């Protein structure tokens, strides 16, 4: 990620208390892909992050680990520490820090670890031609939950909730290699 800032413009910065003027890189400049381009499917390939960093993916894709910032920008990741999926060990440490232990977050014998209740509006289906219709769920309150039949309701515990959030971060888009040079040229023209 440190290579990301090498293309940022410089600005004058004045430290008033010491009457010092310095020329520094401006880290407040942000390059963002326009929403119209973010949704153009042929520019990107779908990717599922495993136990790997953005720099490892950048090396596999672009043969240059310093282009990890392109993956962050492409997926609108502002803070890689919190917006990137955690590995198994880091995830468990996160859950322990937040809930005291993995057991506290996932134990089914207590109501203290319930994050929310869900109504399963539609079960996942596979049509005759192989088309998958995804499951649809809504977050509901306890009263509505109690009024539903067992097959239409679900309790989501803290551990499962955190795991879903982490797993959702695993599905990213990677800019296709054939558009890399054009993208880098655009970034330079905007930032420099």
Question: How confident is the model over 91-133, as pLDDT tens digits?
Answer: 999 998 898 887 776 777 667 789 999 999 999 999 999 899 9
Do 15 and 50 share a domain, yes or no?
A: yes
Do 160 and 104 share a domain, yes or no?
A: yes
| Parent domain of 182 | 2-84+171-191
Do 164 and 175 share a domain, yes or no?
A: no
- Specify the pLDDT at position 80: 86
pTM value > 0.75: no
Do 6 and 78 share a domain, yes or no?
A: yes
Do 130 and 180 share a domain, yes or no?
A: no
Strands (E), 33-169: 44-48, 114-122, 125-126, 132-133, 136-140, 153-157
Do 58 and 98 share a domain, yes or no?
A: no
Domain count for the chain? 2
144 beta partners: none
Do 97 and 131 share a domain, yes or no?
A: yes
Query: Which residue from 83, 90, 98 is spatially nearest to 169, judged by alpha carbons?
Result: 83
Euclidean distance between CA atoms 145 and 113, whole angstroms = 16
pLDDT band for position 148 (50/70/90)?
A: very high
- Specify the pLDDT at position 29: 64
C-beta atoms surrounding 14 within 10 Å: 9
pLDDT band for position 7 (50/70/90)?
A: low
15 beta partners: 20
Do 161 and 116 share a domain, yes or no?
A: yes
Residue linked to tokens 């198994």: 88
Do 78 and 92 share a domain, yes or no?
A: no
- Specify the pLDDT at position 167: 96
């Amino acid at each position: 990620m440190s290579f990301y800032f090498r293309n940022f413009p410089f600005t004058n910065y004045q430290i008033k208390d010491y009457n010092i003027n310095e020329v520094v890189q401006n880290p407040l400049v942000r390059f963002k892909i326009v929403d119209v381009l973010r949704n153009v499917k042929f520019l990107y390939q779908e990717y599922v992050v495993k136990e790997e960093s953005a720099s490892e993916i950048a090396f596999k894709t672009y043969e240059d680990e310093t282009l990890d910032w392109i993956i962050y920008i492409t997926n609108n990741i502002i803070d890689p520490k919190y917006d990137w999926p955690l590995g198994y060990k880091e995830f468990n440490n996160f859950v322990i820090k937040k809930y005291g232990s993995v057991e506290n977050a996932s134990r089914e014998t207590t109501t203290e670890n319930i994050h929310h209740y869900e109504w399963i509006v539609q079960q996942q289906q596979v049509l005759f031609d192989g088309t998958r219709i995804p499951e649809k769920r809504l977050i509901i309150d306890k009263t509505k939950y109690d009024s539903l039949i067992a097959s239409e309701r679900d309790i989501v515990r803290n551990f499962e909730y955190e795991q879903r959030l982490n797993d959702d971060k695993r599905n990213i888009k990677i800019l296709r290699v054939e558009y890399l040079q054009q993208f880098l040229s655009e970034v330079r023209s905007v930032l420099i």
